[in-house]
Amino acid sequence: MRAASLLLFTAVALAQPPGSSPAYRLYEKANALFVAKRLPECQAALEEVLRLEPKLVPALTLKAKVAMAVNRYDLARESLNQALAAEPDAWYARFLSGFLYHLQNELQLALPELEIARRLNPRDPRAALYLGLTQESLGRTSEAIASYAEAIKLEEASGRVQADTLLTYARLLLLLGRLDECGQLISRALKLEPDSRDAHYERARLLLKQGDAAGASQEGEKALRLSGGITERQIRYLLLRAYQATGQEKLAAEHAAALRAAEKP
């Protein structure tokens, strides 16, 4: 999901006492470089930070995020283990530990880490969201529903509701056949992001499920013209089905041909 990449480059406020150390001030510079996606400079600054304070937890956590950003999950795990050894109740390090396990599909390991992160910082919606994703993947549907609902509630309380969070919950509701609730969440996502490819695609899926193949084809074509996380292949396959359902065989054939062409090496 798009939220996974956005999450890494989001600045996180980590409490420090007044009169922060020189190492912490340098960490703040490194964090700003990371948010700006200036990774080589960020890495150089972090090396100096950790030379000054090898157990500075925010710096170790940021080092893990840099490693995740370049798909060095082994280095990320090493840094997070060091951070949690220094401060077991560091909620953000604990959350990133669960997040990393989730990315690696180590769901049984992700679950307890995310549960601990939720207890340590119950007001942060990200832990609730990824806990829900993990629970859903493990087949713990009722728990996932509660976690998604809590994530949305927390985002509402912060005044920063994310379309991706709404769509994540909507996808589960679609699978469960709770179509009215699913539609409400998709509508909210589209109100927040009218040009969201993912939201238009999810509305197309919902309409197809409801028997409105014509509406599904319109939404699918909108999605195809936009950019986003959903792949072109997924959209074209949906459009193929929608046009077949409405008897528009020529349009269905065009999407079938595009799908075949995409499979060629």
Each residue's pLDDT tens digit, 185-205: 999 999 999 999 999 999 999
Same CATH fold, 88-161 and 1-83? yes
Is the CATH number 2.60.120.40 carried by domain 88-161? no
The three state secondary structure string of 167-209 is HHHHHHHHHCCCHHHHHHHHHHHHHHCCCCHHHHHHHHHHHHH
C-alpha dihedral (237, 241, 243, 244), degrees to nearest 10: 130
What is the structure's pLDDT at 16?
Answer: 52
Using only the alpha carbons of the chain, give its radius of gyration.
21
Could you report the per-residue pLDDT of 139-194, keeping only the tens digit for each? 999 999 999 999 999 999 999 999 999 999 999 999 999 999 999 999 999 999 99
CA distance 144 to 138: 9
CA 169 to chain centre: 12
What average pLDDT is seen over the chain? 93
Under CATH, domain 162-265 is a member of which superfamily? Tetratricopeptide repeat domain (1.25.40.10)
- Residue 217 vs residue 6, higher pLDDT: 217
Is the per-residue pLDDT at 136 higher than 80? yes
As a whole number, mean pLDDT of residues 241-264 equals: 95
50 touches 64 (CB < 8 A): no
Mean pLDDT confidence for 91-112: 97
The domain locations on the chain are: 1-83, 88-161, 162-265
- The CATH number given to 1-83 is 1.25.40
User: In 3D, which of 137, 53, 65, 75 has the Cα closest to residue 95?
Assistant: 65
Supply the pLDDT for residue 18. Answer: 42
> What per-residue confidence (pLDDT) applies to 265?
74
pLDDT of residue 1: 54
What one-character DSSP code corresponds to residue 55? T
Task: Report how far residue 237's alpha carbon sits from residue 201's, in angstroms, rounded to the nearest whole number.
Answer: 11
Structure tokens at 162: 């994310």
Whole-Å CA distances, 77 to 32, 85, 219:
22, 12, 41
Banded pLDDT at 264 (limits 50, 70, 90): confident
